[in-house]
């Protein structure tokens, strides 16, 4: 039986970090679990490479979009390889077979009467690639809070409004179509409010898949991106997907748009969408501007990928938000992996080597531990099935704890000194520990593939761990007489301070490497402010005003400058030349609120008089971001 699961395809405007790794590791874990249950599992991931955001990131790096996306897409592929993730398909939206699939989906929707031509004039969030229908110029995006841009263009529209009832019917008939329940409720509430038609093409950008027979139009990135789930397995008879695993912020695209597109095209729907929560850094949102993004590679190098996998799946309740910190990571590593699992493995294997020459003795084992193993296994299986990884791991650790206690109580070191009766009891202790370790190891295969496989080998099995099925988890499967292989520690204890320092040093190197890849210079460490302090009298000399952009055009012969006319409540709008062309398209600025320095001495740039300066936040090597008031104020309002 097949099981086809997917991760989101990641945007290539930024290199991979621990948030992307979180989803992909969880998907890899599900893959391994499903395989244990006997499914033929296919896991697809990939990269989302079109759209304005990528076009701008490439421009900021001084690269063509294709050059830029080749580099970053390669980084994602490499990241999954380094982390040992078992990816079957890596689909890029720039792949040729993908474009054909998107165009086919469009044609089907068109033929079935769900697409028409119209025009959109309104707000757009470039960061989320989202039309914000009810926003006004200067309004922030409801998803990310960034200021939306005004766009006005001819578009192809998808009749999303025709799908309200059909979608509600789907959610009703398949209550587990969207999991967890909280996400399902959000989607239900959203759809019940009514759905507006959706613009699915753009004429203002070139970096996209062309709409058939409409050379001016390229597809809206989400129409393009979602179709990856089909193009990744085109011609393989694997569609529909059994599971789309995603982060909670993209539920709407997956649970509303995607099934609506497929219904319109007359294609089968995915069976389930599971949205996990957000991974925070020390309870704070990870973001470029906060400089607190964590990468997976340094953790992989210092503690191993399994330590990261275990931490993410044990510490964070899957489906809810959770927090990452180096302290907590090393803490869990030492307490649960080095002391817990690692200790049980080395103790058990060392005793069998010492007392029985490395051969596991035959016995029925201790019946109480057998019962605990049965119960813990049942909880773990049920929890894995529901993607409740932390609960599954808790159950396995409950078994580890019981066996540890049992060994201490039985005091095998004393039994080893006794006669025949004690020798029989020692056999029972050794068998019980080995059989429990076998079950524990098999249950942990999906989460700790590398280390569990090592313990499995040391226990002397010939069949590789990833061939083991859940049917083999019952007590007594282990046969006496099996010889151990050579034993080595799987989780050596980590020195907390040294390992954190090492990870943080590697993190700095990784950031520098990624920046260089993206054509950017590493940021200098924030130095003490070099600017002298000023008095309020100095500050009031700067006349900062709110303005509205009336028009904007590229300055001929320059790829950085735009010429704007900005209304600041005076008789005539100001003529302003600004170095923001790499970050903003001129048409996207019209109607936007900006802040300008109104009393800057005029000067000529490329022959055009600039009567002021536009205020933008910009970091060394990064594209500028315009500054605007959060609430509505009339043009000319002074900033104080």
Residues in the site for ligand MSP, rule: CB under 6 A?
A: 8-11, 19-20, 22-23, 48, 225-226, 228, 246-247, 249-250, 278-279, 286
Q: Which is nearer to ligand MSP, 299 or 369 (CB)?
A: 299
Q: How far is the CB of 289 from ligand MSP (least distance, A)?
A: 14
Report how many helices (DSSP H) and strands (DSSP E) the chain contains, helices first: 22, 25
Q: Which is nearer to ligand MSP, 268 or 476 (CB)?
A: 268
Q: How far is the CB of 223 from ligand MSP (least distance, A)?
A: 10
Nearest CA-CA partner of 500 in 329, 315, 294: 329
Q: How far is the CB of 254 from ligand MSP (least distance, A)?
A: 7
CA distance 149 to 125: 6
According to DSSP, residue 147 is labeled: B
Q: Which is nearer to ligand MSP, 19 or 180 (CB)?
A: 19
Q: How far is the CB of 6 from ligand MSP (least distance, A)?
A: 8
Here the tokens at position 313 are 């799946």
Q: How far is the CB of 36 from ligand MSP (least distance, A)?
A: 24
Q: What's 192-205 look like in SS3?
A: HCCCCCEECEECCC
The whole-angstrom distance between residue 352's C-alpha and the CA centroid of its chain comes to 43
Q: How far is the CB of 190 from ligand MSP (least distance, A)?
A: 17
Q: Which is nearer to ligand MSP, 286 or 329 (CB)?
A: 286
Any bridge partners for residue 156, and if so which? 117
Any bridge partners for residue 116, and if so which? 157
Which residue in the block uniquely carries the two structure tokens 């001129």? 586
Report in angstroms the alpha-carbon separations of 195 from 28, 167, 260, 266. Answer: 35, 11, 11, 20
For 447-486, b where at least 16 C-beta lie within 10 A, e where not — what string? bbbebbbbbbbbbbbeeebeebebeebebeebebebebee
Q: How far is the CB of 496 from ligand MSP (least distance, A)?
A: 24
Q: How far is the CB of 228 from ligand MSP (least distance, A)?
A: 6
Give backbone dihedrals phi and psi of 67, rounded to 5 degrees, phi first: -60, -45
Q: Which is nearer to ligand MSP, 228 or 499 (CB)?
A: 228
Nearest CA-CA partner of 243 in 31, 20, 466: 31
Q: Which is nearer to ligand MSP, 258 or 475 (CB)?
A: 258
Q: Which is nearer to ligand MSP, 148 or 402 (CB)?
A: 148
Q: Which is nearer to ligand MSP, 201 or 451 (CB)?
A: 201
Q: Which is nearer to ligand MSP, 144 or 509 (CB)?
A: 144
Find out whether 380 and 443 touch, Cβ atoms under 8 Å.
Answer: yes
Give backbone dihedrals phi and psi of 481, rounded to 5 degrees, phi first: 100, -5
Q: How far is the CB of 19 from ligand MSP (least distance, A)?
A: 2
Nearest CA-CA partner of 30 in 6, 46, 10, 9: 6
Any bridge partners for residue 593, and if so which? 548
Any bridge partners for residue 544, and if so which? 597
Q: How far is the CB of 233 from ligand MSP (least distance, A)?
A: 14
Q: Which is nearer to ligand MSP, 20 or 32 (CB)?
A: 20
Q: Which is nearer to ligand MSP, 297 or 451 (CB)?
A: 297
3-state helix, strand, coil split of the chain in percent (to 5) is: 45, 20, 40
β 178-179/2-6 pair status:
unpaired
Q: Which is nearer to ligand MSP, 48 or 149 (CB)?
A: 48
Any bridge partners for residue 548, and if so which? 567, 593
Q: How far is the CB of 291 from ligand MSP (least distance, A)?
A: 14
Find out whether 372 and 404 touch, Cβ atoms under 8 Å.
Answer: no
Q: How far is the CB of 370 from ligand MSP (least distance, A)?
A: 39
For 348-358, b where at least 16 C-beta lie within 10 A, e where not — what string? bbebbeebbeb
Q: How far is the CB of 71 from ligand MSP (least distance, A)?
A: 15
Residue 54's SS3 state is helix
Q: Which is nearer to ligand MSP, 190 or 278 (CB)?
A: 278
Residue 624's SS3 state is coil
Find out whether 11 and 53 touch, Cβ atoms under 8 Å.
Answer: yes
β 198-199/625-626 pair status:
unpaired
Here the tokens at position 163 are 């799908």
């Amino acid at each position: 039986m097949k099981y086809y699961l997917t991760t989101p395809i990641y945007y290539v405007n930024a290199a991979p970090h621990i948030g992307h790794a979180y989803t992909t590791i969880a998907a890899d874990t599900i893959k391994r679990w499903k395989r244990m249950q006997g499914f033929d599992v296919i896991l697809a991931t990939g990269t989302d490479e079109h759209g304005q955001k990528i076009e701008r990131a490439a421009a900021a790096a001084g690269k063509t979009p294709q050059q830029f996306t080749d580099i970053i897409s390669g980084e994602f592929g490499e990241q999954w390889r380094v982390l040992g993730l078992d990816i079957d398909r890596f689909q890029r939206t720039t792949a040729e077979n993908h474009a054909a699939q998107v165009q086919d989906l469009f044609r089907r929707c068109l033929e079935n009467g769900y697409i028409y031509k119209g025009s959109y004039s309104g707000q757009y969030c470039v960061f989320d690639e989202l039309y914000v229908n009810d926003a006004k110029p200067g309004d922030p995006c409801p998803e990310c809070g960034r200021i939306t841009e005004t766009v006005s263009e001819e578009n192809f529209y998808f009749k999303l409004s025709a799908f309200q009832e059909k979608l509600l019917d789907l959610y009703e008939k398949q209550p587990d179509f969207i999991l967890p329940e909280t996400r399902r409720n959000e989607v239900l509430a959203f759809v019940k409010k009514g759905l507006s038609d959706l613009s699915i093409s753009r004429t203002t950008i070139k970096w996209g898949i062309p709409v058939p027979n409409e050379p001016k139009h390229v597809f809206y990135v989400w129409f393009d991106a979602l179709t990856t789930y089909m193009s990744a397995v085109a011609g393989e008879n694997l569609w529909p997907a059994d599971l789309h695993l995603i982060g909670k912020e993209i539920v709407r695209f997956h649970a509303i748009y995607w099934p609506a597109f497929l219904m319109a095209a007359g294609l089968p729907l995915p069976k389930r969408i599971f949205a996990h929560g957000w991974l925070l850094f020390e309870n704070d949102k990870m973001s470029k501007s906060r400089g607190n993004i964590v990468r997976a590679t340094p953790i992989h190098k210092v503690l191993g990928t399994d330590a990261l996998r275990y931490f993410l799946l044990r510490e964070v309740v899957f489906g809810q938000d959770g927090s990452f910190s180096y302290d907590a990571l090393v803490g869990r590593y030492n307490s649960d992996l080095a002391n817990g699992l690692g200790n049980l493995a080395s103790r058990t294997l060392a005793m069998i080597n010492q007392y029985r020459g490395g051969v596991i003795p035959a016995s029925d084992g201790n019946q109480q531990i057998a019962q605990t193993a049965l119960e813990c296994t049942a909880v773990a299986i049920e929890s894995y099935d529901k993607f409740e990884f932390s609960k599954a791991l808790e159950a396995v650790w409950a078994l580890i704890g019981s066996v540890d206690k049992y060994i201490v109580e039985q005091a095998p070191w004393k039994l080893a000194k006794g006669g025949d009766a004690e020798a029989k009891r020692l056999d029972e202790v050794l068998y019980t520990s080995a059989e429990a370790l076998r079950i524990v190891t098999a249950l942990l295969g999906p989460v700790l593939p590398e280390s569990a496989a090592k313990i499995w080998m040391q226990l002397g099995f010939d069949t590789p761990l990833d061939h083991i099925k859940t049917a083999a988890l019952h007590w007594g499967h282990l046969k006496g007489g099996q010889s151990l292989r050579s034993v080595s520690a799987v989780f050596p204890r980590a020195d907390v301070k040294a390992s954190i320092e090492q990870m943080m040093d590697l993190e700095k190197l990784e950031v520098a490497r990624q920046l260089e890849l993206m054509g950017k210079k590493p940021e200098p460490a924030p130095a003490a402010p070099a600017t002298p302090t000023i008095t309020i009298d100095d500050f009031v000399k700067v006349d900062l005003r709110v303005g509205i952009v009336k028009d904007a055009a590229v300055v001929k012969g320059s790829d950085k400058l735009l010429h704007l006319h900005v209304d600041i409540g005076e008789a005539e709008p100001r003529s302003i030349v600004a170095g923001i062309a790499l970050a903003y398209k001129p048409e996207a600025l019209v109607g936007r609120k900006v802040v300008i320095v109104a009393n800057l001495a005029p000067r000529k740039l490329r022959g055009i008089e600039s009567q002021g300066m536009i205020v933008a936040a910009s970091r060394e090597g990064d594209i500028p971001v315009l500054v605007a008031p959060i609430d509505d104020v009339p043009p000319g309002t002074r900033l104080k």
